[in-house]
């Protein structure tokens, strides 16, 4: 099969945001008088959107009472400089150039708030790289619900079976699987091979350029 589109997750897939997200999360906890976490702990808190991140940060810490305050503090701080400490993973820029040259349509689907997702992607990759950029929006279910992924595929003019979904977490693999996409799990992100395989990864890749081979249905799982 000739795949026509590749839809990417953002955090842990295109961009290394672990330092960024852990910084703003821990700053929020410290302002609330709570003990911060080690950076690596956030690998398992990130992936289900900002609200779920805050819930996980506050687990066992009067979460119900503090949630709204913590969420507002986190979003305000994060939106003040979304690019702080964020970096493109090595090889991503080169991969995107190869895919664009081959005529593959590119898009981004993230559980990060939409108002942060769009400017971050455009800041790092420009205005023309991605045909569609989606973050979490009111009234639209977040991943692993496949609705947004399927809507993107439709707007790109592609059938589900003509799309790859690329991500670094089980949530991403479940999203792609439920949408009927070919799923590609990346090992440079926040989670491990076991989680990706357990959640339906069709391919597992260690470097970005291996994704080009997944377009030809090479097996990496």
Q: Which of 79, 88, 87, 108 is nearest to 8 (CA)?
A: 108
| Sheet strands side by side (includes 105-113) | 132-136, 105-113, 5-8, 163-167, 182-186, 203-205
| 174 pLDDT higher than 80 | yes
Q: Output the CA angle 87-92-97, nearest 5 degrees.
A: 130
Strands of 95-187, DSSP E: 105-113, 132-136, 163-167, 182-186
Residue 173 contacts residue 201 (beta carbons within 8 Å): yes
Cα 34–chain centre separation: 27
> Each residue of 151-168: pLDDT tens digit?
999 999 999 999 999 999
> Each residue of 140-151: pLDDT tens digit?
999 999 999 999
Residue 100 contacts residue 129 (beta carbons within 8 Å): yes
The whole-angstrom separation of Cα 188 and Cα 209 is 12
| 217 pLDDT higher than 80 | no
Which residues 6+ apart lie within 8 Å of 33 measured at CB? none
What are the structural domains, with CATH classification, of the chain? 5-16+86-214 (3.40.50.1000), 18-80 (1.10.150)
| 220 pLDDT higher than 90 | no
pLDDT at 150: 98
| 221 pLDDT higher than 90 | no
Residue 183 contacts residue 176 (beta carbons within 8 Å): yes
pLDDT (mean) for 79-84? 91
pLDDT (mean) for 181-201? 97
Structure tokens at 52: 């779920």
The whole-angstrom separation of Cα 2 and Cα 6 is 12
Phi-psi region of 176 (alpha: psi -120 to 50; beta: other; left: phi over 0): alpha
Structure tokens at 82: 């979304």
Structure tokens at 144: 């692993």
pLDDT at 152: 98
pLDDT at 62: 75
> Each residue of 83-131: pLDDT tens digit?
999 999 999 999 999 999 999 999 999 999 999 999 999 999 999 999 9
> Each residue of 3-54: pLDDT tens digit?
999 999 999 999 999 999 999 999 999 999 999 999 999 999 999 999 999 9
Which residue carries 């976490």 as its tokens? 37
3-class SS of residue 34: coil
């Amino acid at each position: 099969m000739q795949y026509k589109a590749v839809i990417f997750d953002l955090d842990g897939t295109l961009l290394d945001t672990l330092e960024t997200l852990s910084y703003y999360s821990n700053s929020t906890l410290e302002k609330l008088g709570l003990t911060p976490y080690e950076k690596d702990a956030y690998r398992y808190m990130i992936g289900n959107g900002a609200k779920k991140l805050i819930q996980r940060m506050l687990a066992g810490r009067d979460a119900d009472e503090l949630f709204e305050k913590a969420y507002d503090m986190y979003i305000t701080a994060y939106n003040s400089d979304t690019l702080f400490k964020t970096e493109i993973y090595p090889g991503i820029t080169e991969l995107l150039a190869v895919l664009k040259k081959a005529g593959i349509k590119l898009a981004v689907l993230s559980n990060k708030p939409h108002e942060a997702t769009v400017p971050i992607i455009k800041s790092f990759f420009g205005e023309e790289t991605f045909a569609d950029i989606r973050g979490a929006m009111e009234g639209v279910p977040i991943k692993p619900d496949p609705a947004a992924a399927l809507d993107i595929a439709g707007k790109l003019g592609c059938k589900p079976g003509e799309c790859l979904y690329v991500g670094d977490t089980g949530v991403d693999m479940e999203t792609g699987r439920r949408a009927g996409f070919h799923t590609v799990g990346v090992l440079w992100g926040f989670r491990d091979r076991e989680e990706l395989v357990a959640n339906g990864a069709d391919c597992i890749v260690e470097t970005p350029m291996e994704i080009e081979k997944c377009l030809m249905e090479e097996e990496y799982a």
